[in-house]
Each structure stands twice: as structure tokens, then as C-alpha cells.
């Protein structure tokens, strides 16, 4: 992982701004996220926002308590993630451009403003990105715009998930 600076950061801000605009289409009642995938040549080849599958209101479970699901339900949201939706779009329209591409991800706050990203944690998206050939993940942290190699992002997502499970077990035991 590395924090980028100057010209590279300015270019990343452009793609993060587009991801933020895309996030405004999100219909999730819990959070609004956006993602864009950019080819090695600098072309946007996929965009996505989080919403229930197919936009179906019947699949909306955004207000359900996450701890109400069985432990085997690893993704406690009803929505297709912004990253997933962007990857699906690329697979449908530009699969030949995936190798070496970069995924830019943002989350918006309640006012529609850019919200700093937390640590990598979604193994569903990190595994999928790794499998289809996305080379980098870009997040905007308080420390700056950060680029992760997708393999590193996947490792950090698993480390976060493992740490979260340990904390959860410690806090739920009598």
C-alpha cells in the first residue's frame, strides 16, 4: 500500500469524484457507495453503486439488524456492493480491459459528501477483484489517497475480518 502524491493524486481525485457521483445513485438505506474501474489506458470501463439486486424493492433488507442473521451469512447487507456492480458491468462490456485495471471506491456521508474509507474489509469484493484481474484498489483515507495492490487488499480484508471475529467472540462470551 502506498499513499500517492501530486500529479498521481490529482488524477485519482478525478476518478474518485466520478465514483462519488455514481454513489449518488445508490438506493441502499444504510450507506451510499460508488466505484469506478479504470483500464490501464485511463478509460473508465465500469461504474457501480450499492442497491438491492436488480433494484428490486422486494429484496430490500437495509434496515434489518446485522446480528439477526445466521453466522454463515457473511455479507449482512441486502445490496449488491458498488464494487461488485462495477465488476459485473466490466465483465459484460469490456472484459478484455480488466487486466491491470484499477478500482476506485468511495462512500458518501448522510449529506452526500465524500466520507473517508476505513481499512479494507470486504473479502467478497477483494476475492472477486483478484479473480478477474483488477490490479489495484484505491481508497481515500484521512492520511491521503491510498493505492493497494489487489492481492494485498485481499490479505488486509481477511486480516480485518479475522480480527473482527475475534473481537466479536470476546464480546459475546459471558
For residue range 66-95, list pLDDT tens digits in order.
555 445 445 556 689 999 999 999 999 999
Q: Which residues contact 34 (CB under 8 A, 6 or more apart)?
A: 19, 20, 21, 22, 23, 24, 25, 26, 47, 48, 49, 82, 105, 106, 108
- C-beta atoms surrounding 11 within 10 Å: 14
C-alpha cell at 152: 494485498
CATH number at residue 150: 3.40.140.10
Say how many domains are in the chain.
1
* Model confidence pLDDT, tens digit, residues 26-75: 988 778 999 999 999 999 999 999 998 876 565 555 555 555 544 544 55
Amino acid at each position: 500500500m502506498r499513499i500517492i502524491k501530486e500529479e498521481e493524486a490529482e488524477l485519482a481525485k478525478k476518478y474518485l469524484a466520478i465514483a462519488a457521483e455514481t454513489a449518488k445513485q445508490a438506493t441502499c438505506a444504510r450507506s451510499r457507495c460508488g466505484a469506478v474501474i479504470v483500464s490501464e489506458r485511463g478509460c473508465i470501463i465500469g461504474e457501480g453503486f450499492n442497491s438491492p439486486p436488480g433494484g428490486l424493492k422486494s429484496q430490500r433488507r437495509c434496515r434489518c439488524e446485522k446480528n439477526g442473521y445466521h453466522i454463515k451469512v457473511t455479507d449482512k447487507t441486502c445490496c449488491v456492493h458498488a464494487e461488485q456492480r462495477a465488476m459485473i458491468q466490466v465483465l459484460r462490456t469490456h472484459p478484455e480491459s480488466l487486466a491491470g485495471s484499477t478500482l476506485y471506491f468511495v462512500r458518501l456521508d448522510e449529506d452526500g459528501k465524500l466520507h473517508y474509507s476505513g481499512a479494507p474489509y470486504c473479502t467478497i469484493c477483494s476475492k472477486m477483484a483478484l479473480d478477474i484481474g483488477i490490479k489495484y484498489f484505491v481508497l481515500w483515507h484521512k492520511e491521503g489517497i491510498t493505492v493497494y495492490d489487489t492481492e494485498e487488499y485481499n490479505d488486509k480484508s481477511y486480516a480485518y475480518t479475522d480480527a473482527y471475529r475475534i473481537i466479536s467472540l470476546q464480546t459475546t462470551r459471558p
